[in-house]
Structure 1
């Protein structure tokens, strides 16, 4: 995939406004781990490879467990998340998929025992912001950087009955 546009260079003042919103939303007092899960979940739903790469690296640096990162797509079935995280993830899905969900009353009501009114606003702005970043990254085809440890030299052929061999990965 070839990037379409370097949007920070093309519109620095506009991007600074986006960065300012990000800074205010993420600096609102919500736990960094919760914010990270919300960003990862929205990015999974939106299919944003650039943001998934960035936020999974950030999560690991914060000490997030691999299991919680791997199971995030199935958070409803996994016992790895707190009740506060669960309602935040449900709200993330509701707002990210707002065209389908219309932000159900039940999802909003579930926030009240776990989040103050100000925290609900902050959480919603974190969700709004990551959805905006996802749309910028996807729309302008931002490509996650390739680190040397992320691309195997060969991918094994797993076709049943095929001879055991390795297929080289094409160079980027």
Structure 2
């Protein structure tokens, strides 16, 4: 076990647990799934209940897999897809920086996920124990291409921005 393995473990666990916590909140805190569904409807992700449930489950499952370092390229793809959808639907009109509710956070999480897919999850991971090996260009390509296709596909199929949003962007 090396310092790199320890660093990857810290990065994976911090990122994965944070993402899983976001999914947990969507289901069980605040307005729970019903409130999250209303919010998803309000930003144009329809049907809101299905989108809220799908996002929460993907955040929880992808976050846990990423933290454990298991099926790392697929977990990274889930994170990339989630961050594309979040950045486009909730943050793109606010600029880059998070202090203005911009897409900076989404960008950083996607890059972290891709970076871990590129390097591999390290020796302190279930992928290593299962003999799945270390990061490869293939793992990076899977994470990037599957994440981008899933995120854009989700937007193409389910994003229907509210009328006020479409009027202001077409002016």
Q: TM-score, normalised by structure 1?
A: 0.30
Q: Which has the larger radius of gyration?
A: 1
Q: TM-score, normalised by structure 2?
A: 0.30
Specify which structure has the bigger relative contact order, considering alpha-carbon pairs within 8 angstroms and separated by 6 or more residues. 1
